Amino acid sequence: MTFDFTGKVALVTGGESGIGASIAKELSRLGCAIIITYFTKVELAESVLTEANNNGLQNLIVKCDIRDEGSVINLFNRAKNTFGKIDFLINSAGIRSHDKPLAGLSLSDFKNTIATNLFGVFLCAKYFINQHEQFRDGRIINITSIHQEIVSASKTDYCASKFGVKGLSKALALEVAEKNITVNCIAPGMVLTPMNKKAIDDLNYRAEQEKRIPLQYAALPIEVANMAIFLCSPQAKYITGTTQIVDGGLSLNRSKGAK
Ligand SMILES: NC(=O)c1ccc[n+]([C@@H]2O[C@H](COP(=O)([O-])OP(=O)(O)OC[C@H]3O[C@@H](n4cnc5c(N)ncnc54)[C@H](OP(=O)(O)O)[C@@H]3O)[C@@H](O)[C@H]2O)c1
């Protein structure tokens, strides 16, 4: 299967780091113009931008806090003014669990996880669909987690946010199908990104975690990006309302739990 995204424009939230950066770079390599957001790390965004610009296309980086509606409106205005349209929205920005039992979890920490991982997806999807009143075609891909399917203790905030995105995605898929917009989730297992810094820095910890993965290794971001590329492609135009699990079989190991 070959992919060519010449003439397409993708907006990747969190496109400066981890999974989002890998998706943005792959799309760019395949001819797609990219808009990537960063929250705190402008130097990472500039590095992805430089790599994308080397592919000979116009690209854009925008600072955005996806919890904040004004910031998201600014993002979509900047994108529209620069490109006139967005074909693909990839919601990758997110934060990890606060990893605390619910009884010890503060309301502000719980709200922060929900505001980032769920409200952020809601806001970006809303303004993406609004700009599609004119274009009536598009793809929304939400990077969730196997924690949209299976649960772990001390991750109530994260599980609530990711189960929420799964529900939002299915309902939205139904709502926007007539506009020819598809909505799908990709649910990764363990991926070696800054979110999993401990697994990158501590090889013993990583080896312990990898024993629980049937394929015996943690994914690199490109493994998730490959699925995003497929979902953006014409070959995936009939797929909507689904979750594509990319976890090396981790979610099959329910009896061992997924941390
Ligand atoms: N890594 C894994 O094992 C794994 C597994 C399952 C699911 N996921 C999901 O995959 C997605 C990407 O995670 P990753 O592993 O690539 O992590 P990452 O490298 O830490 O990237 C997370 C991105 O989210 C951005 N971000 C955080 N809060 C934000 C906010 N309020 N507004 C805008 N952007 C914000 C960060 O921006 P700054 O860096 O600029 O602050 C960063 O670009 C997340 O939704 C995560 O839940 C990851």
**All domains of the chain in start order, with CATH:** 9-245 (3.40.50.720)
pLDDT per position as a tens digit, 144-187: 999 999 999 999 999 999 999 999 999 999 999 999 999 999 99
Q: How many percent of the chain have pLDDT more than 90?
A: 94
Tokens of 125: 């999807």
Higher pLDDT, 257 or 247: 247
Active site (catalytic) residues = 158
Q: Is the pLDDT of residue 133 over 80?
A: no
Residue 196 Cβ < 6 Å to ligand 1: yes
Residue 66 Cβ < 6 Å to ligand 1: yes
Distance CA 147, CA 247 (A): 11
Nearest to 245 by CA among 175, 177, 191: 191
pLDDT band at 70 (very low <50, low <70, confident <90, very high): very high
Q: What is the Cα gyration radius of the chain?
A: 18
Residue 64 DSSP label? -
| Identity at 68, one-letter amino acid code | D
Nearest to 44 by CA among 17, 62, 19, 84: 17
Tokens of 7: 């003439």
- pLDDT at position 197 is 96
Q: Is the pLDDT of residue 142 over 90?
A: yes
Q: Is the pLDDT of residue 242 over 80?
A: yes
Q: Is the pLDDT of residue 259 over 60?
A: no
Residue 194 Cβ < 6 Å to ligand 1: yes
Residue minimizing CA distance to atom 44 of ligand 1: 94
- pLDDT at position 243 is 98
Q: How many percent of the chain have pLDDT more than 70?
A: 97
Distance from the CA of 81 to the center of ligand 1, in angstroms?
26
Question: What average pLDDT score do residues 116-132 get?
Answer: 96
Residue 103 DSSP label? G
Residue 257 region by backbone torsions, left for phi larger than 0, else alpha for psi between -120 and 50, else beta = left
- pLDDT at position 43 is 98
pLDDT band at 258 (very low <50, low <70, confident <90, very high): low
pLDDT per position as a tens digit, 71-113: 999 999 999 999 999 999 999 999 999 999 999 999 999 999 9
Residue 188 Cβ < 6 Å to ligand 1: yes
Assess contact for 227 and 239: CB atoms under 8 A.
Answer: no
Question: What average pLDDT score do residues 51-73 get?
Answer: 96
Tokens of 60: 């854009």
Lowest mean pLDDT, pick from 20-24, 35-39, 88-92, 132-136 = 132-136
| Identity at 135, one-letter amino acid code | F
Distance CA 196, CA 212 (A): 16
Distance from the CA of 78 to the center of ligand 1, in angstroms?
22
Q: Phi then psi for 117, rounded to 5 degrees?
A: -80, -25
Q: Is the pLDDT of residue 257 over 60?
A: no
Assess contact for 251 and 188: CB atoms under 8 A.
Answer: no
Q: How does strand 88-91 pair with strand 181-188? A: unpaired
Element at 176 (helix H, strand E): helix 156-176
pLDDT band at 137 (very low <50, low <70, confident <90, very high): confident
Nearest ligand 1 atom to the CA of 17 is 19
* Mean of per-residue pLDDT scores for the chain: 96
Distance CA 17, CA 11 (A): 14
- pLDDT at position 135 is 67
- pLDDT at position 132 is 74
